[in-house]
Structure 1
Amino acid sequence: MSSQNTPHARAPRGTLSPERIVNTAIDLIDRDGLAALSTRRLAGELDVRPMALYTHFRDKDAILAAVTTELLGRFEWPDPGTEDVEWLRQVMRAYFRLYTAYPALLQLDVQSTRQVDDVEAKIAEQLYARLARLNVDHRTAVGLLATLIRFVLGCATVYPVRRTWDEDPQHWERVRQQWAHLPAEAYPSMHALTDDFPAFTQWDVFEFGLDTILAPLADRRSDRA
């Protein structure tokens, strides 16, 4: 019998588990993107029939919810004794590290309209509690956290492409030279920068933006001291 007619081997009965399904889904999304995930594709990756997935999850949305919960469970919390503003800064750094390490979570947060799960609710509760301790009013607290999360999402979204800039020691020098060749009369501000051209890594940009957004809180902390 030819190999083309040989039935595709299936995983032994009982070897499939929710953990295996979720981790395989994470790998698939990280590798091929969220749009590539379907129950049929996931079943193929697991070497099982699609119906086998429904033993553990009712549908694709349930799998995606479990993926989100698993990845958020890998969130690295700062020391709870850290001063409030610095604690907020470290939480945003932890989010950035998580999003860049697991593109699956980034894609889910950017594209999903799902409801907030228990893990996210617990994270949000601690964030708002810290802002309340700083006497931040409700409107400012909601607006500030929305701004911070969008900033982190944006930085993490461009990171996979722009991190190559960090790996190229000549990148910013080439940019400086390009700006230096612009006609000074048409682009005086950009041309002037080339005399003392700043170079930023992706983390430098992230830290600069984070400090800028949190600056009013740092001032508030100083006022309370």
Structure 2
Amino acid sequence: MYAMAATPQTRQRRPRGSLNQQVITEAALRISDREGIAALTFDALGRELGAHPTAIYRHFRHKDELILALTDELHARAQVGGLPVTDDWAEDLRAVARRIHGAFMAHPQVGQLVAARTARRPHEFETVEHILGCMRRAGLPDPEAARCYRVFTDLVLAYSSMEAALSALDEPTREADLRAWEVDYRRLPPERFPHLATAADHIPPLDSPANFEFALELLIGAVRTRIRPADGPTA
């Protein structure tokens, strides 16, 4: 008597109604973190969630809608525990900027892509409202508050995205870029590049955490210059 051949186990179907945009977005973030943004497809989401890919299309018409949801998810993760509102507008700006930067760096595969996108979703709205509130509490008149909001936020997002992109590189490529500042730049002929030769020992590494902090202080300092004595506090 012959033993019956083993048959592959049928994948258990996901319960009906258990998919929603949040569940799919969290799965997309897991796939991107684990395998890279290029691996993020609706087929991959189906495998991750135990669902047919067509089920994903019921919640997101196309991948760009998913990218916008991921953009908002990074804002959501920057807001965990709430964004602080104190009597120190500058410190509140530092706090929200650090949280945004931290969210991008925690998920660099997504963070490298989304700085230029407008999610037009609830958590993004909350980020905009919070930063505008900081600018107005600084005492800036509304036109100045709006302009400073735009530049401050865009620069924080851009810097965070750039550092996320560096972190998202494969290790050999990233190490080669970092090493170039320690090796290639120091080998340049000083007679042709005198300023580089003078400053080479003082240029921070690309991945130094102090770079973002310094950029943040420059931004806050720039905001302070827009506050006239009659406008309000300069703390």
Residue 49 of structure 2 corresponds to residue 46 of structure 1: yes
Give the superposition deviation at 1:209: 1.6
Question: Which residue in 1 is equivalent to 2:32?
Answer: 29
CA deviations 1:21-50 (Å, max 9, x no partner) are 332222112233444333333112223323
Q: Deviations over 1:140-170 (max 9, x none)?
A: 4333333332233223222334999999xxx
Alpha-carbon separation, structure 2, partners of 1:105 and 1:68:
8
Question: What are structure 2's unaligned runs of at least 5 residues?
Answer: none
Shift, 1:91, TM fit = 0.9
- 1:98 maps to which residue? 103
Q: Separation in 1 of the partners of 2:190 and 2:147?
A: 44
Instruction: Give the AA of the match of 1:213.
Output: L
Alignment of 1:78-117 (within 5 A): 78-81=83-86, 83-103=88-108, 105-107=110-112, 109-110=114-115, 112=117, 115-117=119-121
User: Which residue does 1:59 correspond to in 2?
Assistant: 61
Q: How does 1:1-225 map to 2 (within 5 A)?
A: 6=8, 8-11=10-13, 13-14=15-16, 16-18=18-20, 20-53=23-56, 57=59, 59-60=61-62, 63-76=66-79, 77-81=82-86, 83-103=88-108, 105-107=110-112, 109-110=114-115, 112=117, 115-134=119-138, 135=140, 137=144, 138-161=146-169, 175-176=181-182, 178-194=184-200, 196-200=201-205, 201-219=207-225, 224-225=233-234
8 Å CA contact retained: 1:29, 1:37: yes
Q: CA 1:191 to 1:144, structure 2 compared with 1: closer, same or farther past 3 Å? A: same
Partner Cα separation in structure 2 for residue 130 and residue 36 of structure 1: 38
Count of equivalent residues: 217
CA drift at 1:70? 4.0
TM-score, normalisation: structure 2: 0.71
- Pairwise CA distance, 1:102: 1.8
> C-alpha root-mean-square deviation of aligned residues, in Å?
3.8
CA distance in 1 between counterparts of 2:170 and 2:218 reads 21
TM superposition shift of 1:191: 1.7
TM-score, normalised by the number of residues in structure 1: 0.73
Identity of aligned residues (%): 21
Unaligned runs of 5+ in 1: none
User: Judging changes above 3 Å, is the alpha-carbon distance between structure 1 residues 163 and 152 closer, same or farther for their aligned structure 2 residues?
Assistant: farther
Whether the 8 Å CA contact 1:92–1:152 is kept in 2: the answer is no
Amino acid at match of 2:137: R
